[in-house]
C-alpha cells in the first residue's frame, strides 16, 4: 500500500544525563528518556504534519545489553504542544540498553504505528530497525532517530513481531475547511463512517488534522459523510487503500461548500397519502441544486422570480437538506401552513435575502439574521418552538409578524425589539409593522418589559409604525 513507502514516522529519542554524582553512587545515576514525534516523507526531505488522536500513548520495551528487562510493555503518555508530540519523561539508570519494542497506540487500544524488527520483511522501510542500541552516559545528552511505519493491513510477521498486543486498525487523516469572507480556515464538522448502509462510527472533526480510525473493515468500501450547518453535505466512498493512493499520506483536505441548510421534518403535518410530504418556495433567479438528505439530488433553474421545491420522503425521519449554487441570488424563503416543517435553518450565506416566511408550522427555535443585511420582512406567526430572533443594530426590517403562541420570553423579546428600535432611530425609517399579539389565541408574546413597551410606543407615535399587540389599555400612554 502506498502509505508503507511514504508515511514514515521519525521519533527522536532524547536522553539527558543527570548531574554528576560521587563515584561510589554512580550506579544510581538517572537519565531522562523522551520521545519526540514527527512525520516525514521516506526521503526525509520534507517534513509533514503528524496527527495523533488525543489520548494516544506509546507502548515500549527496553532491555539491558545482557537481555534483562528494564521496561516491559510500558505505556507512556503522549503530549501535544502546538502540533508537536512528545512523550512524558521516563527515568532510566545510566548504562547501555536496547529498545526492543516501540508502538503508537490509539485511545481505543488500536495499533497505529510500530517499528519493524531487523530482518523482518518491512525492516527496509526504516533506517534503524529494532533492537536499537543506545547508551546513557553520565552528564550526556543523546538523540537517537527512531522510525515507525503505518501498520494498516499488515500482519505481525511483516514487521517481525510474534503478535500485536492490541487491535490493529486502519486509519486516515482528515482536515475540514470552510470558506467565508475571511477566506479559507479550518473548522469543526460532524463526521460519520457508513458501511453497508450502517453508521459504524460518528465523530467530531476539530479544526486541526484529525485521525479517523477504522476497525475491522479490511479493504472494504466505506463512505465518509461530513455535515456542518450552513455548508453542503460532503459524501465520498473509499477503500482504505484507494484513499491512501489518492491522497498522499492518507490526508484528506476537505473544502466545504457554502449552502442554505435546514433540517426537514416530513409528515409533521398533512396527509400521508399526498404526492409530496415536504415543500417550500424560494424566490431567486439562477440555478440551485438541492440535496434532500436521503440520497436524492435535483437541480432547478428559475428564470422567473421564484420556484417551488417539493419532495416525497415517505417517513417521519429528520433530514439534513442543503442547497447550493446561486444561493447569493435567493431573496425569499417561504414554508407555511405545515407544508415544509423545519427544525433548524442556516441562512448565513444568503446576503440578498429580503423576505423570510415560516409560520403555522414547525420552525427553528432560533432564527439568526445577523448576516442578512437586506432582510425587510419576517413572518413567523404561530411558530410554536420559536425562542429568539437575532438582528444586527443596522438592520432594515420594516415588517415583523411573530404572533404567538411561541416560546419567546420577556428577555428574548427585549433582544428582538431593541436592534429594530435602534435601527429605526438611526435611519428614521417610518411606516413599519410589528405584531406580537394574536386575538384568536388571546396570547401576547413575552410579555414585553417596561423598556420594550416604551420602545414600541416611540415607534408607533414618532415613526408611524403599526404595533399590533394584545395588552392592557392602561399600557397605552
| 129 and 204 assigned to the same domain | no
Residue with cell 403562541: 405
Question: In the 8-state DSSP scheme, what is residue 405?
Answer: S
| 237 and 310 assigned to the same domain | no
Q: What does the pLDDT read at residue 143?
A: 64
User: What is the CB-side half-sphere exposure of residue 177 using CA atoms within 13 A?
Assistant: 10
Local structure of 327: helix, strand or coil: helix
Mean pLDDT across the stretch 210-220?
83
To the question of pTM greater than 0.85 for the whole model, the response is: no
What's the rounded Cα separation, in Å, for the pair 238 and 427?
55
What's the rounded Cα separation, in Å, for the pair 160 and 395?
68
| 277 and 423 assigned to the same domain | yes
Last residue of a domain, one of 204, 235, 255: 255
Question: Other CB atoms closer than 10 Å to residue 161's CB: what's the count?
Answer: 21
For residue 148, the surrounding DSSP H or E stretch is strand 141-150
Q: Residue 228 maps to which CATH number?
A: 2.60.40.10
Question: Other CB atoms closer than 10 Å to residue 321's CB: what's the count?
Answer: 24
Mean pLDDT across the stretch 113-122?
90
pLDDT at 455 over 50: yes
Tell me which residue of 180, 236, 175, 237 sits closest to 207, measured CA to CA: 175
Residue with cell 492518507: 250
pLDDT at 331 over 80: yes
Tell me which residue of 205, 199, 251, 197 sits closest to 228, measured CA to CA: 205
- Which tens digits make up the pLDDT trace of 72-99? 999 989 887 776 777 787 777 888 889 9
What's the rounded Cα separation, in Å, for the pair 134 and 64?
10
Owning domain of residue 156 = 3-168
| 85 and 210 assigned to the same domain | no
What is the tally of structural domains in the chain? 3
pLDDT at 4 over 60: no
| 13 and 160 assigned to the same domain | yes
Last residue of a domain, one of 222, 255, 288: 255
What's the rounded Cα separation, in Å, for the pair 372 and 355?
10
For residue 450, the surrounding DSSP H or E stretch is helix 450-463
360: region left, alpha or beta (phi > 0 left; psi from -120 to 50 alpha): left
For residue 459, the surrounding DSSP H or E stretch is helix 450-463
| 278 and 221 assigned to the same domain | no
Tell me which residue of 405, 385, 402 sits closest to 452, measured CA to CA: 402
Q: What does the pLDDT read at residue 164?
A: 79
| The most confident of 41-55, 162-176, 292-306, 379-393, by mean pLDDT | 379-393
What's the rounded Cα separation, in Å, for the pair 173 and 6?
14
| 209 and 314 assigned to the same domain | no
- Which tens digits make up the pLDDT trace of 420-450? 999 999 999 999 999 997 655 567 888 899 9
Q: What does the pLDDT read at residue 309?
A: 94
| 231 and 362 assigned to the same domain | no
Percentage of residues of the chain with pLDDT beyond 90: 51
Tell me which residue of 135, 24, 37, 163 sits closest to 88, measured CA to CA: 37
| 196 and 274 assigned to the same domain | no
Please provide the distance, in angstroms rounded to a whole number, between the alpha carbons at the two ends of the chain: 80
| 226 and 270 assigned to the same domain | no
What's the rounded Cα separation, in Å, for the pair 402 and 333?
16
| 63 and 25 assigned to the same domain | yes
| 158 and 188 assigned to the same domain | no
Last residue of a domain, one of 200, 223, 255: 255
User: What is the CB-side half-sphere exposure of residue 143 using CA atoms within 13 A?
Assistant: 6
Amino acid at each position: 500500500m502506498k502509505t508503507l513507502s511514504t508515511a514514515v514516522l521519525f521519533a527522536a529519542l532524547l536522553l539527558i544525563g543527570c548531574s554528576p554524582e560521587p563515584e561510589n553512587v554512580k550506579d544510581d545515576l538517572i537519565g531522562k528518556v523522551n520521545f519526540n514525534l514527527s512525520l516525514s516523507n521516506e526521503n526525509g526531505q520534507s517534513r509533514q504534519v503528524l496527527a495523533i488522536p488525543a489520548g494516544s500513548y506509546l507502548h515500549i520495551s527496553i532491555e539491558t545489553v545482557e537481555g534483562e528487562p528494564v521496561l516491559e510493555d510500558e505505556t507512556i503518555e503522549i503530549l501535544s504542544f502546538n502540533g508537536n508530540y512528545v512523550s512524558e519523561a521516563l527515568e532510566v539508570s545510566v548504562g547501555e540498553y536496547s529498545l526492543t519494542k516501540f508502538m503508537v497506540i490509539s485511545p481505543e487500544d488500536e495499533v497505529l504505528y510500530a517499528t519493524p524488527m531487523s530482518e523482518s520483511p518491512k525492516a527496509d522501510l526504516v533506517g534503524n530497525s529494532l533492537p536499537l542500541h543506545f547508551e546513557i552516559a553520565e552528564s550526556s545528552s543523546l538523540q537517537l532517530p527512531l522510525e515507525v511505519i503505518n501498520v494498516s493491513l499488515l500482519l505481525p510477521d511483516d514487521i517481525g513481531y510474534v503478535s500485536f498486543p492490541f487491535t490493529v486498525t486502519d486509519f486516515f487523516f482528515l482536515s475540514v475547511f470552510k470558506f467565508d469572507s475571511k477566506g479559507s480556515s479550518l473548522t469543526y464538522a460532524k463526521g460519520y463512517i457508513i458501511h453497508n448502509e450502517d453508521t459504524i462510527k460518528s465523530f467530531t472533526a476539530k479544526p486541526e488534522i484529525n485521525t479517523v480510525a477504522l476497525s475491522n473493515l479490511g479493504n472494504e468500501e466505506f463512505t465518509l459523510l461530513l455535515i456542518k450547518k450552513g455548508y453542503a453535505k460532503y459524501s465520498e466512498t473509499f477503500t482504505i487503500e484507494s484513499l491512501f493512493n489518492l491522497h498522499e499520506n492518507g490526508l484528506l483536505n476537505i473544502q466545504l461548500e457554502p449552502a442554505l441548510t435546514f433540517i426537514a421534518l416530513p409528515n409533521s403535518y398533512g396527509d400521508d397519502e399526498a404526492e409530496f410530504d415536504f415543500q417550500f418556495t424560494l424566490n431567486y433567479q439562477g440555478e440551485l441544486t438541492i440535496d434532500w438528505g436521503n440520497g436524492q439530488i435535483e437541480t432547478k433553474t428559475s428564470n422567473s422570480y421564484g420556484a417551488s421545491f417539493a419532495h416525497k420522503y415517505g417517513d417521519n425521519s429528520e433530514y439534513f437538506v442543503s442547497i447550493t449554487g446561486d444561493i447569493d441570488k435567493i431573496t425569499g424563503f417561504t414554508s407555511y401552513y405545515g407544508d415544509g416543517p423545519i427544525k433548524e435553518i442556516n441562512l448565513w450565506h444568503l446576503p440578498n435575502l429580503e423576505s423570510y416566511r415560516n409560520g403555522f408550522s414547525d420552525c427553528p427555535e432560533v432564527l439568526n439574521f445577523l448576516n442578512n443585511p437586506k432582510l425587510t420582512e419576517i413572518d413567523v406567526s404561530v411558530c410554536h418552538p420559536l425562542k429568539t430572533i437575532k438582528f444586527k443594530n443596522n438592520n432594515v426590517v420594516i415588517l415583523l409578524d411573530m404572533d404567538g403562541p411561541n416560546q419567546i420570553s420577556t428577555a428574548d423579546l427585549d433582544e428582538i425589539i431593541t436592534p429594530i428600535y435602534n435601527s429605526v432611530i438611526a435611519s428614521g425609517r417610518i411606516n413599519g409593522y410589528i405584531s406580537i399579539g394574536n386575538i384568536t389565541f388571546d396570547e401576547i408574546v413575552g410579555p414585553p418589559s417596561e423598556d420594550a413597551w416604551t420602545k414600541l410606543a416611540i415607534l408607533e407615535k414618532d415613526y408611524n409604525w403599526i404595533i399590533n399587540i394584545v395588552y392592557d389599555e392602561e399600557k397605552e400612554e
